[in-house]
């Protein structure tokens, strides 16, 4: 009894320590975003002596061009994620049901995309040759090609847990292959689709490297992460503004994660719970 209690207390202590390690940096960032420039240069977790709530965030939004970069990120992330899910669900339906050697070969080729780093030089040259370098379309196509393998892997694994008898019953009732996919398989895949979609959204929204090269210096198309990078370079001595910018850039991702964490867990465990 005493041993169980000691183990339980130890668990709570570990959880508390880990929570503090996560919370303290966020607290430091949030508090310093409300301070004056002079006060923010002194490392401290104390509350501001003079609150600069409106001034700091207004400066960041205007000079950091966050409104435009937010809609750029929304367009690129939304379009890329939706198209990736469409491609991945259709591919998973084929890979999960077909057993021909050629199909399995294609599946393993897609899996190589998970472990093989993409070549930015080759991709940039291809997009330039196609006239898509520095465009939204080029950025979206690049993300589809780069980030599809993992959702395909997740959804294909989930497809293996869906009983074939359900599809066979739908075929007997007169459903076409597309009808089986849209009306039978797709609703059953919702938990896994939610997990793959949320993962893709977070991955694309936080991406810095690819837009840096593919958008080719077009500031009007910069995402929020790129705007943050160049804003920090311009205001590297004004830590209060840099922290305010970090808060605004992190806010959309934080909101998505808070509201979607149940879907993530449900999608990751759904395959194990299906018989």
The domain spanning residue 148 has which CATH number?
1.10.3720.10
Same domain, 126 and 149: yes
Same domain, 204 and 253: yes
Residue 146 near residue 204 (C-beta atoms within 8 A): no
Measured at the CA of 103, the angle between CA 101 and CA 107, to 5 degrees, comes to 115
- Contacts of residue 204, Cβ cutoff 8 Å, sequence gap at least 6: 76, 77, 80, 81, 143, 147
Same domain, 114 and 20: no
Q: What is the pLDDT of residue 1?
A: 57
Last residue of a domain, one of 14, 38, 57: 57
Same domain, 22 and 74: no
Q: Which residue ranges of the chain lie beneath pLDDT 70?
A: 1-3, 216, 261-275
Same domain, 68 and 35: no
Q: What is the pLDDT of residue 74?
A: 93
How many domains, the chain?
Answer: 2
Show contacts of 247-253: CB within 8 Å, 24+ apart: 247/29, 247/30, 247/33, 248/57, 248/60, 248/61, 248/66, 248/224, 249/66, 249/224, 249/225, 252/70, 252/73, 252/205, 252/224, 253/202, 253/205, 253/206
Written as six digits, the tokens of 114 are: 């998970």
Last residue of a domain, one of 41, 57, 73: 57
Same domain, 108 and 220: yes
Q: How far apart are CA 28 and CA 30, in angstroms?
A: 6
Same domain, 41 and 155: no
The pTM assigned to this predicted structure is: 0.82
Which value, to the nearest 10 degrees, does the dihedral of the CA atoms of residues 162, 79, 259, 265 take?
A: 30
Same domain, 32 and 89: no
Same domain, 50 and 69: no
Most distant CA pair in the chain, distance = 74
Q: What is the pLDDT of residue 272?
A: 46
Q: Which domain holds residue 81?
A: 63-273
Q: What is the pLDDT of residue 273?
A: 43
Same domain, 52 and 181: no
Written as six digits, the tokens of 37 are: 């420039």
Last residue of a domain, one of 15, 31, 57: 57
């Amino acid at each position: 009894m005493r041993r169980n209690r000691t183990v339980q207390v130890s668990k709570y202590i570990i959880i508390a320590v880990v929570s503090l390690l996560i919370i303290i940096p966020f607290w430091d960032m949030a508090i310093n975003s409300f301070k004056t420039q002079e006060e923010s240069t002194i490392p401290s977790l104390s509350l501001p002596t003079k609150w600069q709530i409106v001034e700091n965030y207004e400066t960041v939004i205007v000079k950091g061009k966050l409104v435009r970069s937010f809609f750029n990120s929304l367009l690129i992330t939304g379009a890329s994620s939706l198209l990736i899910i469409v491609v991945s669900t259709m591919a998973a339906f084929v890979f999960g049901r077909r057993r021909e050697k050629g199909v399995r070969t294609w599946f393993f080729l897609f899996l190589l995309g998970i472990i093989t780093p993409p070549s930015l030089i080759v991709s940039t040259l291809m997009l330039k040759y196609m006239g898509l370098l520095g465009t939204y379309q080029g950025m979206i196509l690049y993300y589809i090609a780069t980030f599809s393998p993992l959702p395909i892997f997740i959804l294909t694994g989930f497809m293996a847990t869906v009983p074939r008898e359900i599809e066979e019953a739908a075929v007997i009732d007169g459903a076409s292959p597309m009808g089986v996919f849209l009306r039978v398989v797709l609703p059953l895949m919702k938990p896994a689709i939610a997990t793959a979609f949320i993962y893709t959204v977070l991955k694309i929204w936080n991406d810095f490297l690819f837009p840096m090269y593919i958008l080719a210096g077009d500031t009007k198309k910069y995402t929020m992460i790129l705007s943050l990078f160049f804003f920090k370079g311009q205001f590297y001595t004004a830590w209060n503004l840099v922290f305010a910018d970090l808060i605004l850039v992190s806010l959309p991702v934080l909101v998505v994660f808070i509201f979607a964490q149940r879907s993530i867990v449900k999608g990751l465990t759904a395959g194990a719970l299906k018989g």
